Structure 1
């Protein structure tokens, strides 16, 4: 297993959990408990917070988006379930990007995104991956709880689980360094270049609940264990949240494959690859802070083969 992971060519941190116990924890670069920007892997945590509101009867999966954002095109047709499984028919207009040119507040970003969003009725019910779905889920959480997304995330995950290597990317450098964070690098013209921190922070604000958290492998495993195995979500809630169909298999922030779940993150010079059996007993987490064009897909496929091998003996 160590040999196969080493041959991924990833300079970062790896954690392997088998039957609920740490099996391998090591670094091929940085440290075993270095924290990285997890990018889209955060969507699973946002989705779980939404499902908690469903459990509290403050929301239904069938609730229309118009209850919260009536100005969004198609909001009277799009349901919460569509946002969770990326079948809303919503996307940004061609050439537009999430957020404002200069970040002022989450609410300003929400309103800016609404003006840039279009609705394609022919895509309602059809899978199309776009972070705008999860950005609006953050806005819904804010309206339901009367808390900012950051405060809600801290109250839901960071404080109860006593996470020491988890922080919002826009926090002070002092807080980031305390969490064992390392900057990201992208390969340009054959050389790795540091991703400008101010630019990366703005992107994190724009992504909000879809790419704004740095975490170590151990902290990531703690949160995923909470979501997948504890009473945080009921069995019925997990069943509803993670039901998925071909060809996407996507719902609740995970690709829900036959034998395991997977989530991937890439951007700002970071890779995060998360794999877990459905009950959370076996996990494989690989993170790195050096990225290169075309490398993500190759690593993802090889990590899938490793996870296939790990789960083969558990079937």
Structure 2
């Protein structure tokens, strides 16, 4: 697989904008080496701070080799490492679909085909895990993201609890992707971290992306929200560490079709099994201007991250805040996405 050319490194302009009350300063670094997004007229990033109550925020938008970076704080930079949380799921789903393309597993196969010792999941398929339609109990409801658990313990905890919904009904559960990580290990003989690194991270030269394993710290440079965390609190559902440029590069490559053949990518983006809520490891959002963007978000350890991209991967936006939960986040996030994808450039 050919790695995507990194965004241009020359900085063509630097200006400080004053936007909305509280005089939140936003620094825009506009890269002009080629066609691509420029700073939108409606400077909505500060809303994540003022109305969303996040201490600080940063955003990187890219299109081809051009892009712009914005931050509400000089303490956040475009090269910061950050915990990506549930954005990990898109990486895991990509590997599962690659294995299906290679005929090493079947999406229609029962989970017990690959995890034969796991009881209580005999009626569930691999597809139901990918599409969040298994109905399995979400283990983080018990651990609150603070207790590290081995994958087998997560599985046993989940099946010991009543199903959240009946199978076939969409219900988001981190347990699904922990089980998918176990399936990757069972099918390949290597950990999900090793397979993602071999199949995605290394080919795309995502040099700021890693699975920390048992390492509790975030590599430097990083923002002020990089607290210590045992990655086993999330596992295959949210362990990933990455950067804004790497996440943009990954989603662009995925949606451009450089990680999956067309049929597999269509399967990944098919939201019918989840009644429009979810594909496989990513979800759509239709903006008021008619553009539908695809991506995922992640909340973990004081960090919130959101990536959204056009269907062809031609334009990608990732932003992060130094607070895992935002007030009024739905309306504010939509404003941010609208300013990036719905304004003419």
> Which category describes the TM-score, using the shorter chain as reference length?
0.7 to 0.9
Structure showing greater relative contact order (alpha-carbon pairs closer than 8 Å, 6 or more residues apart): 1
Whole-angstrom CA distance in 2 between matches of 1:51 and 1:158:
16
The offset of 1:95, in angstroms, is: 6.3
Name which of 231, 241, 257 aligns with 1:214. 241
Q: Which moved more, 1:161-170 or 1:61-70?
A: 161-170
Q: Which moved more, 1:54-63 or 1:67-76?
A: 67-76
Show the counterpart of 2:69. Answer: 25
Show the counterpart of 1:251. Answer: 279
Name which of 102, 110, 115 aligns with 2:156. 115
The offset of 1:88, in angstroms, is: 0.6
Q: Which runs of 5+ in 1 are unaligned?
A: 104-108, 186-194
Matched, 1:153 2:186: no
Larger radius of gyration: 2
Q: Secondary structure at the match of 1:176?
A: coil
- Higher relative helix content: 1
| Residue correspondences, number | 290
CA root-mean-square deviation: 2.9
Distance 1:149 1:6, change over 3 A: same
Deviations 1:125-166 (A, max 9, x none): 000001000010000001111111222222123322222222
Name which of 89, 94, 100 aligns with 1:43. 89
Matched, 1:70 2:116: yes
Name which of 319, 322, 332 aligns with 1:286. 319
Whole-angstrom CA distance in 2 between matches of 1:121 and 1:97:
16
Q: Which runs of 5+ in 2 are unaligned?
A: 1-39, 50-55, 287-291
Within a 5 Å distance, the mapping from 1:178-217 to structure 2 comes to 180-184=221-225, 195=227, 197=228, 200-201=229-230, 204-217=231-244
Show the counterpart of 1:87. Answer: 133
Matched, 1:129 2:172: yes
Deviations 1:182-229 (A, max 9, x none): 3527xxxxxxxxx4x1xx22xx21322221112111111111122211
Show the counterpart of 2:17. Answer: none
Q: Which moved more, 1:48-57 or 1:141-150?
A: 141-150
Whole-angstrom CA distance in 1 between matches of 2:267 and 2:204:
25
Q: Using structure 1 for the length normalisation, give the TM-score.
A: 0.81
Show the counterpart of 1:13. Answer: 58
Structure 1 runs of 4+ aligned residues shifted over 6 Å read: none
Check conservation: 2:45, 2:57, Cα contact below 8 A: no
The offset of 1:40, in angstroms, is: 0.8
Check conservation: 1:82, 1:88, Cα contact below 8 A: yes
Deviations 1:250-290 (A, max 9, x none): 02111124522131111210011111111100111111223
Show the counterpart of 1:190. Answer: none
Check conservation: 1:225, 1:280, Cα contact below 8 A: yes
Whole-angstrom CA distance in 1 between matches of 2:132 and 2:205:
31
Q: Using structure 2 for the length normalisation, give the TM-score.
A: 0.75
Within a 5 Å distance, the mapping from 1:222-241 to structure 2 comes to 222-241=249-268
Whole-angstrom CA distance in 2 between matches of 1:159 and 1:228:
18
